[in-house]
Amino acid sequence: MSKVLAIANQKGGVGKTTTSVNLAASLKITRKNVLLIDLDPQGNATMGSGIDKNALEKSVYDLLVQEAGFDEVVVRPEEAGYDLLPANGDLVAAEVDLIIGENRETRLRQIVVAIKQRYDFVVIDCPPSLNMLTINALAAADGVVIPMQCEYYALEGLSALMDTISTIKDRLNPELKIEGILRTMYDPRNKLTTEVNGQLFNYFGDAVYRTVVPRNVRLAEAPSYGKPAIKYDKRSRGAIAYLALAGEMLRRHDEAAAGIS
């Protein structure tokens, strides 16, 4: 059964794109069929997958405004291995088109429903704001993965995101749930990290992934080479962390399917 995951957080700089690219690559390594949808006009997930966003003939924009079909837009980056719906600055225009168009909140869901059976996982990289693109991602998703740093302002942003998810669940997607909270750029030596960590587990419990993603130079370098970390340096702590996250996610899904709480 296909799983659609939105990687979302209204706060920027928390590792959404890094998580999207490296989770997709790690799931692919485990022999899953994976589609990554770049829904951020910055196109960083596209570039980080090894595709030049400036050379695209068609992008996810063309798909959203119904000027191209899925098979005309999807590409398979050689290094990454997963399928990709690429993005560039054209997506900014999609904001306007979606606002004035029909089915504006569910355009992406219609696309995903039509093709999701081709894939085990569909991963959506959301922009760092609550806009029509993010709403489309949440309306299309089964679950939300929330990357966040263990710092004070991150908790404030998380509260706002939870309100957004609740609203989308009530109005557009009753099946939407929190898939998990991923602690990124994690430094256990930091006292604030420890305090926020404790608050996360107190409030969200098992929704917090046991896997943490540490600060890692190789993880930060990989996008400039157009590769996921697992392809850039498979022995790096960042690559190993995302492989562990993929493993934890698959175990959770297996346990849920088997009815294990």
Q: How far is CA 214 from the centre of its chain?
A: 18
* Whether pLDDT at 129 is above 90: no
* 186 vs 62 pLDDT, higher one: 62
pTM of structure: 0.94
According to the model, what pLDDT value does residue 168 have? 94
- The pair of structure tokens assigned to 110 is 């219609």
Do residues 98 and 63 touch, judged by C-beta distance below 8 A? no
Show the beta-strand stretches assigned E in 155-216.
Answer: 177-186, 208-214
CATH no., domain 3-258: 3.40.50.300
Lowest mean pLDDT among 67-71, 77-81, 93-97, 212-216: 93-97
For 97-101, 109-113, 225-229, 250-254, which range has the lowest pLDDT when averaged over its residues? Answer: 97-101
Q: Cα separation of 226 and 16, whole Å?
A: 16
pLDDT for residue 210: 95
CA-based nearest residue to 248, from 197, 216, 214, 208: 208
pLDDT band per the 50, 70, 90 thresholds, residue 261: low
DSSP type of residue 1: -
Contacts of residue 22, Cβ cutoff 8 Å, sequence gap at least 6? 219, 228, 229, 230, 238, 239, 242
The C-alpha atoms of residue 12 and residue 129 are separated, in whole angstroms, by 8
**pLDDT at site 260:** 63
| 47-54 average pLDDT score | 96
pLDDT, tens digit, for every residue of 61-74? Answer: 999 999 999 999 99
What are the tokens at 148?
Answer: 């966040």
Say how far residue 91 (Cα) sits from the centre of its chain.
17
Residue 83 CB partners (closer than 8 Å, separation 6+): 33, 34, 35, 36, 74, 75, 76, 119
Q: What percent of the chain has pLDDT over 70?
A: 99
SS3 179: strand
Query: 211-239: per-residue pLDDT in tens?
Result: 999 999 999 999 999 999 999 999 999 99
Beta strand spans in the chain (E): 3-7, 34-38, 83-85, 121-125, 143-148, 177-186, 208-214
Residues 155-176: what's their mean pLDDT? 89
- How do the domains of the chain map onto residue ranges? 3-258
Least confident of 78-82, 102-106, 247-251: 102-106
Is 218:239 a contact under the CB 8 Å cutoff?
Answer: yes
**Poorest-pLDDT segment among 9-13, 61-65, 129-133, 161-165:** 9-13
How many H helices and E strands in the chain? 12, 7
Phi, psi of 205 (to 5 degrees): 55, -125
pLDDT at 243: 97
pLDDT of residue 238: 95
Tokens of 46: 């596209």
Mean per-residue pLDDT of the chain: 92
